Structure 1
Amino acid sequence: MARELHLVPARRGRAVSLAEGQAIQIINTHGQQVVDTWCFNAADMTEFMSMAHLHATLESIFPAEGDALVTNHRRPILTLERDTSPGRHDTVIAACDRHRYALLGCDNDHDNCTDNLASALAEVGLEAPVCPSPLNLWMNIPIGPDGGVIWGAPLCKPGDYVTLRAAMDCVVVLSACPQDMIPINGAACTPTEVHYSLLG
């Protein structure tokens, strides 16, 4: 039987509860969309997936298949079980917010991943104490030998997916990043929807 596909609309966020052992498959439907991804301990929202702690655990900035993704308490919360893309996911750049877009020259309020996190959690009656730095799925940020960063386009193709399996009861939040001022969502700078399905 085909798994049910759920939509994350372009520029919006969704929160999904996972029981320990359950998995979520996140699908890059059109192949050029960055998905800011957070995960919180369902029993304690002050414990969350932390990129800073992940760097020390992996001794790398690029998680790969089989890697445990850890919290600010240095405990596994998700495992990157499967990745059909070239495996370039950013763990360095903070979630976009209204201040980021103002610095890029946007005079009006702009959809952003920080607000998407808050609104997605509010829809399920939750609130995050902070906006942690996310796992930016498919965001391609090459880092040069001098430490400089490049805002690259995603390297994945339509239909590429990652599977994340829960190591504890948790809440995963996905934001189809609304960045349309630099080409992290492809050269067209056009955010698109993504899909996800739940696995046993």
Structure 2
Amino acid sequence: MHIRRSAEEIAANRQRYEEHQRKGLEFAPKALPAPSPLPGPLIDEAAVIHAETIPGGWYWSTALKRGESIRIDQGGAFSTVALVAWNAADTSERLNLVDTVKVQWTTALGKGRVIFSDMGRVMFSIVEDSSGAHDCLMGGSTPASNAAKYPNVKTRNTRDNLVLVAGKLGLDRRDIPAVLNLFAPVRIDDAGEFRWRGTLSNSGDYAELRAEMDMMVGFSNCPHPLDPDPVYAPRAVTVTRFQSASPTADDLSRTATAEAVRGFENNALMLA
């Protein structure tokens, strides 16, 4: 159905767009820091809400409140963790990696970046990250990719795991957004091919994501389709949910780019 807009509404939208464009051109993005040091500091026990160990090949989901954080920790061994998220108040709003990449002009997600929803709001701030090697382009494993990679071996895969996550949350497979693969050092070579660059990762990496809205978050702990290990042997990871310290006025994720500033403005409108 075609919606006709008034000349006044069109003019107001154009003015708003031009103002955003002007701010973006005038805004000098802040330089992002080096990866967080290893090993990660201990989390204050008084702040911990829950800690969950996800066995290799399995999945888990949790509610996450605005102002809480999650630390995803590989422990002492390498493992890729796929993550998806939905707005708890309206699950039609979900993690959107296309917008996350597009509005920040980069596929390199690390400390200081934010992760957007499909409504232009910020879902997560990446407040700590020892890796900087995450994949937001390829998606997770499927029965077909696992069958080709591990013939004659019974395995679990990310697509089926997230279908189970969605079902337990009262959602359908069509509600599952594209996944963020944490600890997946995928890069694009000069020929435009996806390549696995294992030297970008450390065994024992961790990432901390601060929730900027109330969410439901799902995880799948399965090998990435490009992981070169020929043996299906995913390691356990730990996800710790804890109360974050309140962000300061100069919080890096909130001020690093003009796009992040606008995203948080949209969050404020939602909460008003």
TM, length-normalised to structure 1: 0.86
1:19-74 per-residue CA deviation (whole Å, 9 max, x = no partner) reads 11111111012331000011111112221111111111110111121211001222
Aligned to 1:116: 161
Question: CA 1:79–1:73 in structure 2 vs 1: closer, same or farther (change >3 Å)?
Answer: same
Aligned residues of 2:149 and 2:230 also touching (Cα < 8 A): no
Question: CA 1:150–1:15 in structure 2 vs 1: closer, same or farther (change >3 Å)?
Answer: same
Aligned residues of 1:46 and 1:129 also touching (Cα < 8 A): no
* Separation in 2, partners of 1:115, 1:125: 15
1:110-136 per-residue CA deviation (whole Å, 9 max, x = no partner) reads 411111112234345544533322110
Aligned to 2:84: 38
Instruction: Work out whether 1:193 is the aligned partner of 2:239.
Output: no
Aligned to 1:26: 72
- Which sections of structure 2, spanning at least 5 residues, go unmatched? 1-43, 244-272
Shift of 1:88: 0.7
1:133-184 per-residue CA deviation (whole Å, 9 max, x = no partner) reads 21100101121122111134374334321111111100111111145x8535
Q: What is the SS of the residue equivalent to 1:64? A: coil
* Separation in 1, partners of 2:75, 2:166: 23
2:119 partner letter? H
Correspondence list, 1:1-200, <5 A: 2=45, 3=48, 5-85=51-131, 87-104=132-149, 106=151, 110-127=155-172, 129-153=174-198, 155-178=200-223, 183-184=227-228, 189-200=232-243
The structure with the greater share of residues assigned to helix is 2
- Which sections of structure 1, spanning at least 5 residues, go unmatched? none
Question: CA 1:76–1:154 in structure 2 vs 1: closer, same or farther (change >3 Å)?
Answer: farther
Question: CA 1:154–1:91 in structure 2 vs 1: closer, same or farther (change >3 Å)?
Answer: farther
2:167 partner letter? A
* Separation in 2, partners of 1:5, 1:93: 28
* Separation in 2, partners of 1:128, 1:75: 23
* Separation in 2, partners of 1:107, 1:48: 36
Q: What is the SS of the residue equivalent to 1:129? A: helix
TM, length-normalised to structure 2: 0.65
Q: Based on CA coordinates, which of the two structures has the bigger radius of gyration?
A: 2
* Separation in 2, partners of 1:114, 1:141: 19
Q: What is the SS of the residue equivalent to 2:192? A: coil
Aligned residues of 1:12 and 1:177 also touching (Cα < 8 A): yes
Q: Percent identity?
A: 24
* Separation in 1, partners of 2:96, 2:106: 14
Aligned residues of 1:32 and 1:154 also touching (Cα < 8 A): no
Shift of 1:100: 2.5
Shift of 1:104: 4.2
The structure with the greater share of residues assigned to strand is 1
Q: What is the SS of the residue equivalent to 2:201? A: coil
Aligned to 2:15: none
2:215 partner letter? C
Higher relative contact order (CA 8 A, sep 6+): 1
Q: What is the SS of the residue equivalent to 1:142? A: strand
Computed over aligned residues only, the root mean square deviation of the Cα atoms, in angstroms, reads 2.4
Q: What is the SS of the residue equivalent to 1:31? A: coil
